[in-house]
Chains A and B, each alone.
Chain A
Amino acid sequence: MELLRFATAGSVDDGKSTLIGRLLHDTKALFDDVIDAVAATTARRGGEGLDLALVTDGLRAEREQGITIDVAYRYFATPLRSFVIADTPGHVQYTRNMVTGASTSDVAVILVDARHGLKEQSHRHAALSALLGIDHLVLAINKMDLVDWSQSRFDEIHEQFLGLADKLGVGVVTAIPLCALDGGNVVDRSPHTPWYQGPTLLEHLETLPIPEPARNGLRLPVQVVIKPVVGSGAGPLAERRWYAGSLASGHPQVGDEVVVLPSGTRSRIAAVEGNAPAVRIQLADELDVSRGDVIAAAADRPDVQPNITARVAWMNDKPLRPGGHVLVKHATRTVKAVVTQLHDTLDIATLTSVPGAEQLELNEIGTVTFITALPLPVDAYEVNRTMGSFIVIDEVTNATVGAGMIVGAPVGAAQ
């Protein structure tokens, strides 16, 4: 069975929790005791039937405030696919959680209220999704019942969103008119939209193409070096160390020419074991390879650069400033780094890059260059998500304060 991971994002009161509750309910993913608990809570609050938003709001503070604070992960399956939903919060102060949810997703479902259309949050959600490399956006236009299932209203919002997606360079947009409250066009087709010929939300999620993995040659960031337990009489190969990790790309085969980065030492693959992408390999030569090194195809290797330029989503109260000292975790290596330049920041409302900012504030996105204490083997994020991404860590608090997506290699990058 295939696995599709999708993120959901919406502004406050767009009905996102209800939509997810509806999706789980109508695909029969909710068990009897969960439905009973939701019915009981609904009744206790003076409601009738099932308030499906209660299915997903898990934390006490969320129930008290009636909002979603943190990313919640939900699981359901149909005969065609199994799904992981990263349900992300709408509030601007929780943008970092939206980035968290979107970073592991193949598709983003962006919710808008048909009465209100696109809001600044919708721009932000679309921009963050695009920035994180999600090339397929689903625009779920909810609460269609409150605009009398108006086709012209649907078309109007759809048009606006297409303009936005175009600016962002998003490849595919699918708009669906729905009502999470009565379930119309979520799993089952609504009787109110004879003018709509497209799929329901679930039909679309079941059939849309799942993005393909990176097409680069071999990249294996070494996680751990394993010394085999061997008895006496074992041959020299049995005693040789294994380099274990998760493949960022490629299909290692015995005999392949490889290069260890950043040192540049060459060897050949002597053995491969494990279920991809979690593999371990042995090399034909005794080399000094340790955690953080990347074993790559000799013929198709990432650039090794002393500095990296990336779009950075900043997630800390303390702004990022040129000259600031941070830690960067890229693949399996954590290195010290210094911010050398803040090139521009992204204006979410106009989706344009604005030069001249002195610092990058919480929830802002900017283009930043870092110089790292050790050169890192990198690919552009759009080519290889694993080799093109990093997190920024505060040296003092250990907090994760930024998410970086590496832009194409600068001219004259060192090999």
Chain B
Amino acid sequence: MSLTTDPTDLSSFEDPMPQILTLDRRLAELEAHGIFVIREVAAECERPVLLFSGGKDSVVMLHLALRAFAPGVIPFPVMHVDTGHNFPEVIEYRDRLVEQFGVRLVVASVQDAIDEGRVPDPGPTGSRNRLQTQPLLHEITRNKFDAAFGGARRDEDKARAKERILSFRDAFGQWDPKNQRPELWRLYNPRIRPGEHLRAFPLSDWTELDIWRYIAVNDIELPAMYYAHRREVVERDGMLLATGPFTPALPGETSRVETVRYRTVGDMTCTGAVRSDASNAVEVLAEIEQSRITERGATRADDRFSEAAMEDRKREGYF
């Protein structure tokens, strides 16, 4: 695929991009649509919040928010659902970006939820991924957030493929897939009743490739773990898991140091790495274009349990 498709077609009012890469018509349309959704929800909702994990999708979303309100400030806070099992470099990156963008950070802590008995303790090495829903809804209620921007894309999963750009959650945070609001043209209807909230997905129509192309074109910084680095890993269920205090090698497993990168950022106990030498966004792009395994299938143990795993978690109020 050429990354310099038809640069003359770009109706840009900004200075030309300094890189060789340019926004082609598709990427320009996706960017404009994402900005449109963010502005609509921010204008019509009282208290929006942007869900920020430090993952590449949420980083792109935050960049769109910056562009949506430039030269002013982003008029809402960001929220990180912190499993307590984070890669340390992601937390460091998160704090730096929040400072740089001048936005307020709200942390929804899974550890706090465990300590306060709001969720069961899965033990020191158990997966905390499913436990994110409770603290997320807890903070949404406590802060009276009425809209939460999420970086989910429809190409990620069969259930997400059917979700609207604005997705409604009842007072229990639940999604009712059979009763979704018709979404016509670009006329979004974000009206809700007290106690309800909505999720807004400005990146719905982006694919993984689009995200990487946008990152490459705009030279957006990501947590370093997205690029090739040396790391101690064990191979488990066909995935490479980083060894650490939450994911020790099990009996019979031997850890070894490999050159890897991550395709998604999540809980250390269930996010796997892939062997890779790609050291920047352009090289990652080239690698993905060759790849024959979807992002979630390759590296997320949480989606492997059943065909309906994502649908079930969404119904409960997951992202």
Contact = CB atoms under 8 A, between A and B. Distances in A.
B154 A391 contact: no
Interface string A65-79: 000011111110101
A276 B11 contact: yes
A75 B154 contact: yes
15 contacts: A33-B298, A56-B161, A58-B158, A59-B177, A70-B162, A70-B177, A73-B161, A99-B184, A224-B68, A228-B72, A246-B35, A275-B14, A398-B189, A400-B182, A400-B184
B32 A275 contact: yes
Given A58-B161, A60-B308, A228 B189 contact: no
Given A71-B162, A275-B32, A276-B12, A32 B39 contact: no
Given A31-B293, A70-B177, A72-B162, A391 B32 contact: no
Interface residues of B, number: 62
Contacts of A59: 158-159, 162, 177-178, 311
Interface of A: 1-3, 31-34, 37, 41, 56-61, 63, 69-75, 77, 79, 82, 84, 96-97, 99-100, 103-104, 223-224, 226-229, 242, 244-246, 251, 272-280, 291, 315, 329-330, 332, 385-386, 389-391, 393, 398-400, 403
Contacts of B298: 33
Contacts of B122: none
Given A73-B205, A398-B193, 13 more contacts: A3-B29, A31-B292, A31-B297, A58-B162, A75-B205, A75-B207, A97-B182, A276-B13, A278-B36, A278-B68, A291-B43, A391-B184, A391-B189
A58 B187 contact: no
A225 B193 CA distance: 26
B171 interface: no
Interface string B24-58: 11101101100110011011000000000000000
Interface of B: 1, 5-6, 10-14, 23-26, 28-29, 31-32, 35-36, 39-40, 42-43, 67-73, 154-155, 157-159, 161-162, 177-178, 180-187, 189, 191-193, 204-205, 207, 291-294, 297-298, 307-308, 311
* Closest A-B pairs by Cβ, 4 of them: A58-B158, A33-B297, A278-B32, A398-B191
B205 A1 contact: no
Contact of A226 (B36, B69, B182): B69
A291 B42 CA distance: 12
B189 A400 contact: yes
A49 B146 CA distance: 46
Given A60-B311, A69-B178, A226-B69, A277 B32 contact: yes
Contacts of A96: 182
Contacts of B183: 100, 400
Nearest to A241: B72
A399 B176 CA distance: 14
Nearest to A281: B13
A104 B154 CA distance: 16
Contacts of A329: 187, 189
Contacts of B69: 224, 226, 244
Given A226-B72, A228-B72, A276-B13, A385 B185 contact: yes
B193 to A, nearest CB: 6
A272 B298 CA distance: 44
Residue among A2, A70, A275, A276 with max Cβ neighbours from chain B (10 Å)? A275
Nearest to B196: A398
A178 to B, nearest CB: 23
B28 A275 contact: yes
Contacts of A274: 13-14, 67
A251 B192 contact: no
A223 B36 contact: yes
Contacts of B185: 103-104, 385-386, 389, 391
